[in-house]
Amino acid sequence: MTWRLFEKLAERYDGWYDRNQEKYAVEVECLRGIFRNKGISLEVGVGTGRFAEFCHVGIDASLAALKIARKRVQVVVRGDACNLPFKEQSFDSVLFIFTLCFLESPEKALKEAWRVLKKDGAVYVLAIPLDSPLGQKYSKTDSLFYRAARFFTFEELKSMLERNGFRIDEVKCGFIELSDRDLICISASKD
């Protein structure tokens, strides 16, 4: 299970954001440009809580990551993305920020997101698409984190969202290192 990697290397993972502040800033700005939350938001795979400005509640399987996230996120919960411990229609938005690529069952996680979203809720996905130059580079790297990831093309992400009851509302791309398609941020409404 990928979360065990983050359990062992939570501090190293968190340190990446300090060492790569320009890339991190692009990621935050991309999400800011598309995020329209007016209520309670959940980040699935919150990790160390680096995107805390977007969520009220964060869930992750890694206790080590959550110990760091607790300093940044209002409420942290240890749990499984594919079996969220929340009632139906509990959240106005659900975020997957660099999470779907690390899940064994991303479709199950999206089904759970649909379940916990209110009827007019939205899901937000931030990802490095496989069909971008950066996605190609990361998919071939020997990095401990990236070799554990399964990158998806934009079309695969779009299809996954649509199969699980979401309608794509907006897509924004960003330049991190190699092209203006290095980063993709998708907003999708509960259909």
Domain count, the chain: 1
DSSP letter for each residue of 32-95: HTT----S-EEEET-TT-TTGGG-SEEEES-HHHHHHHTTTSSEEEE-BTTB-SS-TT-EEEEE
pTM above the 0.75 mark? yes
Q: What is the CATH number of the domain that holds 118?
A: 3.40.50.150
Q: Which domain holds residue 135?
A: 3-190
pLDDT per residue over 57-94, tens digit each? 999 999 999 999 999 999 999 999 999 999 999 999 99
